[in-house]
Amino acid sequence: MAYWRWGEPAAGHVIVCVHGLSRQGRDFDVLARALLARSPFPLRVICPDVVGRGRSDWLKDPSGYLIPHYVADMLGLLADLNQRSEVSTLDWLGTSMGGLIGLGICGHPGLPLPVPVRRLVLNDVGPVIQWASLQRIGEYLGKTGRFDTLQQGADAMWSVSRTFGPHTREQWLDLSRAMVRPHPEGGLCLHYDPAIAVPFGSLTEEAAASGEKAMWELYDGVTAATLLLRGAESDLLSSETANEMTRRGPHARLIEFAGVGHAPTLIAADQVDAVTGFLLAP
């Protein structure tokens, strides 16, 4: 598993930022720079490419592309980071899938973490995921395409990512650079294993609903101070679920962003301010 490291390699304060289902760790470039620029103390910001995405290896068996396996991978990463330089403070930010991994990390008591997670940011995700959103994602997941240019790839990604909210042409192109790789037959394709769609495609509405109880139990087990971000037009995290998350478990603080669906990219100034203010506050 590859990861991107920002800041001081020996800093004891570690912030792990984990991306969404078909994305990769370079999604957090803008946020990582802002955290380092605004932090009054040394930081290590770690942005992994979850297995099957970005620079990380692909699995031989696609049935391994599941949240429990990703949690195990992250425990290995945290152990490695702690071995390289002791982790004294640990924060977690997860967008969509990265937030579900965060619930697995924070909601299971007794996991071998270097230290307990102090602050948790859940970006447009919670214990209940709307089935219509999963159906929408399933329509394009695994179709990695073939593009002649980066701009062509960026345009294709934008066609299925408009819910991310307003971006300038330059912002979207920057977000797209790490999302493509050379296609074996020439040109470019998306930088993830198409087989991540295999376990996703086998999910049924009944299975998704039956998993909600377990996810709520994880959420109720979170002891970290929690910030919940929501795109006000999100089709994945309903307002009802978000409000329930403010009333139970860690009693998350909720911030909604107008004109954004699933999921905020944490590039807009108000989104960056919300995250940095929470993670860097005394």
Q: How confident is the model at residue 204 (pLDDT cuts 50, 70, 90)?
A: confident
Partners of residue 228 on adjacent β-strands? 122, 254
pLDDT in tens, 71-91: 999 999 999 999 999 999 999
Residue 203 has what pLDDT?
86
Instruction: Give pTM, 2 decimals.
Output: 0.96
| Residue 226, CA distances (Å) to 177, 230, 251, 253 in order | 31, 13, 7, 6
- Residues 210, 205: Cα–Cα separation, whole Å: 9
Q: How confident is the model at residue 207 (pLDDT cuts 50, 70, 90)?
A: confident
pLDDT cut 70: percent of the chain above it: 100
- Residues 199, 156: Cα–Cα separation, whole Å: 24
Residue 145 has what pLDDT?
95
Nearest CA-CA partner of 133 in 4, 21, 266, 278: 21
Residue ranges per domain, the chain? 3-130+209-280
One-letter amino acid at 15 equals I
pLDDT in tens, 121-142: 999 999 999 999 999 999 999 9
Average pLDDT, the chain: 96
**Token representation of residue 179:** 């999302």
Nearest CA-CA partner of 88 in 14, 173, 182, 162: 14
Are the C-beta atoms of 229 and 271 separated by less than 8 Å?
yes
Number of CB atoms found within 10 A of residue 195's CB = 18
Instruction: Select 3-130+209-280's CATH number: 3.40.50.1820, 3.40.50.410, 3.40.50.970, 1.10.10.10.
Output: 3.40.50.1820
